[in-house]
């Protein structure tokens, strides 16, 4: 099973709302990732968690707040977003972030629209 599950699939929110994106994997992976993808562009790395600890933050604005409650779950808390934050948000997981062979498995993504 190489499934990464993301919920919700679609989300519409206002600029004053608070919402959360959820990601779950049951492959025993100890590294999890959040990516942002704008239309017709490749994914851009936002955060990396390794053993439930934040190891990379790619200078993401504080209105995006990641959380890794346990090794299977990854959340992305959203607050006071801007319309330009509308995008597809992808979650991925891999065995370990520091492995030489590091296959990342992606979820289907959450398509976010900020009004």
Contact residues toward another protein (CB under 8 A) are: 4, 6, 31, 41-43, 45, 48, 50, 55-56, 90, 92, 97-109
Min dist CB 16 to another protein, Å, is 28
- Mark out the alpha helices in 57-98 (DSSP H runs): none
Tokens 């509308």, residue located: 86
Distance (Å) of CA 70 to CA 26, 34, 51: 11, 15, 9
Min dist CB 7 to another protein, Å, is 13
* Choice between 33 and 64, CB closer to another protein: 33
* Choice between 62 and 100, CB closer to another protein: 100
Tokens standing for residue 108 = 């289907």
């Amino acid at each position: 099973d190489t499934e990464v599950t993301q919920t919700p699939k679609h989300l519409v929110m206002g600029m004053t709302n608070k919402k959360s994106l959820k990601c779950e994997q049951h492959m025993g992976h100890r590294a999890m990732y959040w990516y942002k993808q704008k239309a017709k562009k490749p994914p851009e790395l936002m955060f990396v968690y390794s053993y439930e600890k934040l190891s990379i933050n790619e200078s993401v604005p504080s209105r995006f707040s990641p959380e890794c409650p346990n090794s299977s779950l990854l959340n992305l808390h959203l607050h006071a977003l801007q319309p330009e934050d509308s995008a597809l948000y992808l979650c991925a997981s891999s065995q370990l972030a520091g492995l030489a062979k590091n296959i990342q498995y992606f979820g289907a993504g959450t398509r976010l629209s900020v009004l």
